[in-house]
Structure 1
Amino acid sequence: MATIKLLQLPVPPPSYYAATGNVPLAAASLASSLSIGEGSSLSVDASAISPEDTDVMGDVELVDFILESDPEYVGFSLYLWNTERSLHIANEIKKRKKDTTIIIGGPEVGADNPFVLNETGYDIAVSGEAEHSFYKLMKTLLSKGDLHEIENIAYRKPNGKLTDFSKELAADFPLNEFPSPYVSGFLAVNPNRSTYLETVRGCKSQCTYCFYPKSSQNLRTLDIDETVRLITQLKDQGAKELVFLDPTFNHRPGFEKFLDAIALVNADKQMSMFAELRSEGVTPILAKKMAKAGFNRVELGMQSINPETLKRVKRYGDPHKVAEVAKMLASEGIELLLDLIIGLPGDKPEDVERGIHFFLEHGLGQWVQAFPLSLLPGTAMRKDAERDGLIYMPTPPYRIIRTPDFSEEDLIQSLYLAEDLLDRRIDEFPRPFLCEPVESLRDTFYLNLTKVSSDESIRRVSRPGTRHHAVWFESENWDRDQSLVNELVKRRLTMDPFCTIDFVFYTDQILSHKFFANVKAEIAKAKQSYLSRVLAHRDENMQHRLICIQKMDADLGGTFAESMFARSDLFYYEERKLSSLPKNLVDIGIKIPMVFVNDENCPERLWTDLKNSVDPEAISFRSRKLEKRWAVEVLGYGEV
């Protein structure tokens, strides 16, 4: 019997202890689709790799893990945050087992995404929804039949070239045609993670920046009774938070009755829920019913304050209605995410400012998330980008670079202006991982270049690491060891190029700006990805971070500290005991450098003072126990 392994790699979180939010619903749904009807007759063992594995393993580890079971087929679900890593792992599998058939699919895969189509490490690309065609594809592959009759695919010919995509097979199958992977056993409910589910596919809206209209304009729904049965089963399996992936939750027919039915299932409020709404049609009665059903968070998209822009991008709607509904939901105790997109065609920088002020004037500023426009594959906006003068990144996150009304500098300044007005950072902070090494966990490489030979350092750094790991360097002569440091950084990046890596320089000696420039130059040679680009406008690399820690009691002079503290491309910490923290804790990370705490325990009273006073990102802990507690209690990281 042939084996197919399906995997969905996680959103790279900003911190070692942050939740990935990875629920491989797409991969598990494809596996499930082969377990019923005609698919059940196939001689193939299909399974989705558990997120408990994909979320922890580094690049090399993951390749080793996949090849352990010697699968004939490996399938990847591509999303903008995991595309490059998925393609890298596919390439590595091919290098070691050439006869493995690699299949890719997901929102990134389509005729309008040359970035993916120009890659060579896969054999078959599947566009659109695939449950209804996956059996036919697998049957043809198993029988070594002709692929040209399969819809929605492009495949690699013997000469290595990829064909054009075949004719499109409409995604009009009923949602109850294929069992939920939670029910069929291909995806386990984890009470510590969100549980993702779909009760609707398709979207009546035609927003030009969104992928959903391409997928399907016709709503296909699970009816109320089917949805109640599914939610009941999920609850019985221990689900704590339901995340509805329905494109517009309140567009489904019979929405009020639908909420009433969910409220009966969740009468004990065992489960919290999240969904995305359109403000149109939401009434005070519906807001109450959502709260009663268990919805504690809701996303509403205003997108722009400019009515002409909303018409142009086919979003339509009324900002005042968004504010009215937001306040309505908030009055029921529901937390909000209020979206504002920076760089929509038709908008100008002053529209972003007006949009932020609009939310602030309505008392809604705490829930605003402002983010740059991305021209996603499969969207009408990408199709018309050249006509409309939209310049964007050709690789993930496909972020807008320039429009006729926004220069590159305007886009960056609009982000910073939004932060100034909202008085907070509006994107993720790349928190370094600085905990003490534990050999069995493979997440920390400690290299004392003075005490260990260069050959031994190279041997140590050449081992596989975890998805997020740290490499510590210590030296008595950094200038002498510059070339060795560069070589070790290069080897680490070659080993696990798409892992999150913190390069930590632990020092009681002054390091020059030239030293760090040389290390940065080495990192710049490495493969880039979504994670390394997403905060490039801040001169921050979310994937490969530089950290300088001044050792406890080292006196390197105020000039060195000031020069390190002022850098945006480097994290600078002073190592301290809790007993030596400044009296004014507010100064940490503001007037004085960030603090690396070298204590195993923290008195509760001091812990409370730290929570209430310190910028939470300005302090890190050597102790894993304290770092994890801080991440969960203070930063709000971790699973549900």
Structure 2
Amino acid sequence: MKILFIQLPLIDHSYGYVNGNIDYASAVISSYIKKNFNDVICRTLPSVLSNFCSDEMITKYAVSESPDVICFTSYLWNVERNLRLSGMIRDSLDSVLILFGGPEISEGSIALSSHHPEVDIFISGEGEWFFESFLSGRDIRYINVENNSVAVQSGQELVSEENIVEPLSANRLNTLVDGSVFIELTRGCPYKCSYCFYSKNQQKVRELPFTILTDVIKNRKEIKEIYILSPTFDRSKDFISNLKTLKSMNHQVNLHTEIRTDRITPEIAELMYDAGFRSLEVGLQSMNKKALGSVQRDTDPEKELDGIENLAEAGIDLKIGIIPGLPGDDLKSFIKTIDVLCDRGFGDFIELYPLMILPGTAIREKSEKDKISFQNKPPYYFIEGWNFKAENIKQLSLHMEKKTGMSAKVFYLPDFTNPSDSLFTRGLVFNSDTSTWPVNKISSEVDTIVTDLHITVNDAESFYSQLNQFIEGADQGRLYNIVLYTGDLLDDASIIKIVKDYEKDNFYRRLNVFNSFSEGAIFHFFHITESMTKYLDTVKKYSFINPVLKVNNSTLNEILKNDFNDIPLLIENGMYPEIKEFLLSAYNENPEYVAFKNENEMEAFYNDLGLDAVKFPFNFGLKQI
């Protein structure tokens, strides 16, 4: 038997999240299978395909592998794409058994909201539990949900600690290109926060041997950072002795995990730093005790703040998660949470997470009972209710930006390089005046899930007509960077109307429900301008299109005599030596505002800034049509 595992990332227009797409679940399960069922072949979709490539490319690969079983790891950010992809694979591999597992498989999920004939079995439970019975031919308890067959693990069937296989030592898990890796030390959580799905069916916390971590640190010298999978690392009975063990190793590996901070004294904070912890995630959620109590989170936020302060003073970088929308909170009380954190000097550490009303959680039941407004599709964001109005989340985000000086908006520029030895095609280059845009070539010619279109525009009216036809028929399972080359000012409002007229419901729009229309659009537009005057004109006129100033011999002197560090720049081939000193001085804190035509010059820029320019062993190029 051959099993193919597929785990797809959260996608955005700049592939900003692919480093977080660690195939840990498939690595753990395949390690378990290889240990106990040696005749079973386990394969994982190659990372270049899962992280970058289109559904068509992934389907071709799956068909070429001809597996007996395909397993999709399903999270809220990929479950809809999983369903689409499984349908495409089913059309070509009718006999393959398709399984869906992961946190998203729960009653109330979009995965189980209707019948999906392309999926044979949905798995609600641990992968080791399912495959132990499935591969041994033992009976599995199934329930019927909307005519879907769902295998359900009971709380008495949890996998024992000794049967959980660590995948790195089993050679089923690779480090990322930056030398980081995940290590699981805990399954389960001692807390039962009502908004969290993690502890569902978990009757106990299972701690894996701490030697898993110490052995990896000792024996894998290439590893630079370890993310310890443990929802409350500090709650282990051996917490202090484990820290002392790590300190005694005098290692150089950066460690990261999640903790509660209410018991972190200055001495413990120093010990954590000496043990190798350089970053931590802290789920404070709110400073309002009433709100915390309403979600069964029994903690003292003032003591949490004291622990946070101790960790910060010890030199540990922190991410403090706060969640607006909890029952018992309101706009005024949550503003106080933000203000208290900022006044204590923690403004740079705050991460504001919209409340998710996840399927299978206690807060989902309460939301339905209280008739709260929330998204019934991923990401299941809370919208309104419990003393919060729909506009309050945006107001809180703006308040936090004002208090911290940091914007939640992520700026990026598309990739303008075009290597001659590219292995994959990421986009097309063509003239908008052609009688028909090459829309039908995207699925066959463009290999990536994010499609770049570089379009020369000579006739604006012809362009709007062609754009209208393109967006009406575009595959909205992809994301698009549309780069326009023209000396004319374009009609921003006309482009917005075209996008609005044909946009369908999609995950990316729902994910950005609290952001601007342009941020949540699957179509992002960029206008390349070739003079400072034209650039400034576009800035005044555009709200949707992103203006970019090209750096060439004509614009160089005008750029050098201006004092700015936030104009998006596209550096033409050979221009980096001419503008190097200016870029290193003006753009050292925001290099994301600089793009290059030449890949070597881009790498030199990042190296000159003292930053790592990560290069993949494969290139993505553009195809001229």
Question: TM above 0.5, one fold?
Answer: yes
- Specify the alignment match of 2:133 in structure 1: 136
Q: How does 1:212-227 map to 2 (within 5 A)?
A: 212-227=198-213
Which residue, 74, 83, 104 being the options, matches 1:78? 74
Other structure's SS at 1:170 match: helix
**Distance apart, 1:165 and its partner CA:** 5.4
Matched, 1:113 2:89: no
- Specify the alignment match of 1:540 in structure 2: 518
- Specify the alignment match of 2:488 in structure 1: 509
| Partner AA of 1:399 in structure 2 | Y
Counterpart Cα distance in 2 of 1:571 and 1:541 = 11
Which residue, 459, 473, 476 being the options, matches 2:458? 476
Q: How does 1:89-238 map to 2 (within 5 A)?
A: 89-118=85-114, 120=116, 121-140=118-137, 149-151=139-141, 153=142, 161-163=147-149, 166=152, 168=154, 170-190=156-176, 192-233=178-219, 235-236=220-221, 238=222
Which residue, 572, 586, 593 being the options, matches 1:598? 572
- Specify the alignment match of 2:596 in structure 1: 621
TM normalised by structure 1 equals 0.87
Which residue, 517, 527, 545 being the options, matches 1:570? 545
User: Relative to structure 2, which stretch is displaced further, 197-206 or 279-288?
Assistant: 279-288
Task: Tell me the matched-pair count.
Answer: 607
- Specify the alignment match of 1:437 in structure 2: 418
CA offsets per residue over residues 583-621 of structure 1, 9 Å max, x none?
3443644xxxx43333544244222212247x5554433
**Distance apart, 1:471 and its partner CA:** 0.9
Could you tell me whether the CA contact under 8 Å between 2:13 and 2:481 is conserved in 1?
no
Counterpart Cα distance in 2 of 1:339 and 1:258 = 26
User: Relative to structure 2, which stretch is displaced further, 532-541 or 46-55?
Assistant: 532-541
CA offsets per residue over residues 146-181 of structure 1, 9 Å max, x none?
xxx413x5579xxx9214654625353322313212
| Partner AA of 1:203 in structure 2 | C
**Distance apart, 1:104 and its partner CA:** 0.5
| Partner AA of 2:581 in structure 1 | R
CA offsets per residue over residues 448-502 of structure 1, 9 Å max, x none?
123x5527675467523313331122121121233333334455x42xx434321
| Partner AA of 1:241 in structure 2 | E
Structure 1 residues 180, 165: CA separation in 2 closer, same or farther (over 3 Å shift)? Answer: closer
Counterpart Cα distance in 2 of 1:300 and 1:283 = 15
**Distance apart, 1:226 and its partner CA:** 4.5
Counterpart Cα distance in 2 of 1:255 and 1:489 = 55
**Distance apart, 1:399 and its partner CA:** 0.9
Matched, 1:608 2:584: yes
Could you tell me whether the CA contact under 8 Å between 2:110 and 2:378 is conserved in 1?
no
Could you tell me whether the CA contact under 8 Å between 1:4 and 1:45 is conserved in 2?
yes
Could you tell me whether the CA contact under 8 Å between 1:17 and 1:638 is conserved in 2?
no
Q: How does 1:453-464 map to 2 (within 5 A)?
A: 453-454=435-436, 458-459=440-441, 462-464=444-446
**Distance apart, 1:518 and its partner CA:** 4.6
Structure 1 residues 412, 240: CA separation in 2 closer, same or farther (over 3 Å shift)? Answer: same
Counterpart Cα distance in 1 of 2:13 and 2:161 = 35
Could you tell me whether the CA contact under 8 Å between 2:183 and 2:213 is conserved in 1?
no
| Partner AA of 2:301 in structure 1 | P
CA offsets per residue over residues 85-136 of structure 1, 9 Å max, x none?
2222111101222222110011100123245442613111001222122121
Which structure carries more relative contact order (alpha carbon 8 Å, separation 6+)?
A: 1
Q: How does 1:257-268 map to 2 (within 5 A)?
A: 257-265=241-249, 267-268=250-251
**Distance apart, 1:373 and its partner CA:** 0.9
Q: How does 1:359-508 map to 2 (within 5 A)?
A: 359-426=341-408, 428-429=409-410, 431-438=412-419, 440=422, 441-450=424-433, 452-454=434-436, 458-459=440-441, 462-489=444-471, 493-494=474-475, 497-508=476-487
Name structure 1 gaps, 5 residues minimum.
none
Name structure 2 gaps, 5 residues minimum.
617-625
| Partner AA of 2:345 in structure 1 | G
Other structure's SS at 1:581 match: helix
Structure 1 residues 459, 359: CA separation in 2 closer, same or farther (over 3 Å shift)? Answer: closer
| Partner AA of 2:518 in structure 1 | E
TM normalised by structure 2 equals 0.89
